[in-house]
Amino acid sequence: MTATTESTTEPTDGPILAGLRVLDLSHQYSGALSASFLADLGASVIAVEHPTKTSIRTMLPRKGEQSMWWSVIQRGKRVITLDINTERGRELAIELAKGADVICENFRPGTLEKWGLGPADLTAAGVNAVLLRISGFGQTGPDRERPGFGTIAEAISGFAHLNGEPDGPPTFPSTTLADGVAATFGAFGVMAALWGRRHNGPATGVEVVDMALFEGLFRIIPTQIASYSQFGAAPHRPGNKLTSHGVLRNLFRSADGRWFVVSAVGPAAIRRILLAAEAVPQMARVDAGVMMSDPAAVVEFLDECDDLLHVWAAKWDYATLAKRLAEADAVHQQVFSAEDIVADPQFQARGDLIEVPDDVLGPVLMQGVVPKFPNREHTVDRAGPPRGADNTSVFAELGLDEATIAALRADGVI
């Protein structure tokens, strides 16, 4: 499937990050995803993979030996093999770093320093770049040396505690939420550092962007700490219903078994949902100002609305419910699966579904580039390539001839 993007203007300019050079040393998802975001927007990214051991390649699902994770995360990059935990590998890594504006890594703190590739080592070698360091707990603090994956971040950030049914256990996401949020903050930090070095200085040596896996997810949960600080009690998980936030939001099931959500913040949006459900008495109370009454009364009123919406949803098929909600201009959405997403015209119109050539699998449908820049064209020309696919071209750019590259391969350095 090749999706088209509806726009009033055709793209006139090239990728927004064209000319940005990135060296991706990441061996796990979060760092590699940050570099992937930069590659999507036109940065030239060289990803370094160990000659024999690659965690991402082992992840499921796989088709044959090709992991879907590898295809998506390493898309748009040139991929080489290099054992940087060897003296010759370290020397080559430094040469690659000298040609980079950005370096990404997500080893445990102290690992790069042990290999002689820490910020001070790189600066002393003449490297002038932003170094993004994503780790479980960050480069400082008593837990800095602890290992960590996204699940640990979801546990410590408060996210899992706030998710799940009120009388059930904490609930973790089924995909890499903390890693993805950390990767997004990491890419943001990289761009902030590049801007600061260009406009505020100094623009020499290595500038570190230090990102702990848990901190991005922790940062985007708006009120858990402020509420605890003001009321002296930690917020508890509310399930899908958010009446305790003064919000009319929940998951509902139609008569024909489809799951959907409605969401409303503020009297006008709440009234639209009640209009769709023909809840005349409740609309009158909204008009009378119930949403500005005592907080306990607000929650009681929203709980009443929630109950009636469950009854209303169970009476009608989803097509009828969606029609009424749309006519009332209420915020609502059926819960989509991957099958629904692929068939959805909005995803297609936005260019959010693209086919990317994969050397092993052929064309692979995956997410498009975000965010959008209407006046610029961004494309993804390849999925994550086979191991060492770009060894010859990248090392040749460092001045290595074929015999030297062959010797490095024979010695297990690449």
CB 189 within 8 A of CB 110: no
What share of the chain in percent tops pLDDT 70? 98
- Rounded to a whole number of angstroms, the CA Rg of the chain reads 25
CB 242 within 8 A of CB 249: yes
CB 96 within 8 A of CB 133: no
Which stretch of DSSP H or E encloses residue 27? none
- At 94, the amino acid letter reads I
Query: pLDDT tier at 5 (50, 70, 90 boundaries)?
Result: very low
Mean pLDDT of the chain: 95
Q: Are strands 66-67 and 62-63 parallel, antiparallel or unpaired?
A: antiparallel
Write down the pLDDT at residue 12.
77
Query: pLDDT tier at 179 (50, 70, 90 boundaries)?
Result: very high
Residues 6+ apart with CB under 8 A from 401: none
Write down the pLDDT at residue 9.
59
Q: Does residue 2 have a pLDDT over 50? A: no
- At 358, the amino acid letter reads D
Mean pLDDT of 174-196: 97
Burial class (CB in 10 A: 0-12, 13-18, 19+), 166: exposed
Rounded CA-CA distance 174/274 in Å is 32
Tokens for 343?
Answer: 């068939």
Known active-site residue 179: yes
- Express each pLDDT in 63-89 by its tens digit: 988 999 999 999 999 999 999 999 999
Question: Which comes out higher in pLDDT, residue 9 or 143?
Answer: 143
- Express each pLDDT in 241-250 by its tens digit: 999 999 999 9
Q: Are strands 21-24 and 102-105 parallel, antiparallel or unpaired?
A: parallel
Mean pLDDT of 277-293: 96
Mean pLDDT of 110-122: 97
Rounded CA-CA distance 304/70 in Å is 48
Which stretch of DSSP H or E encloses residue 367? strand 362-367
Write down the pLDDT at residue 8.
47
Q: Does residue 288 have a pLDDT over 70? A: yes
- Express each pLDDT in 37-53 by its tens digit: 999 999 999 999 999 98
From the list 179, 306, 352, 358, the catalytic residue is 179
Query: pLDDT tier at 142 (50, 70, 90 boundaries)?
Result: very high
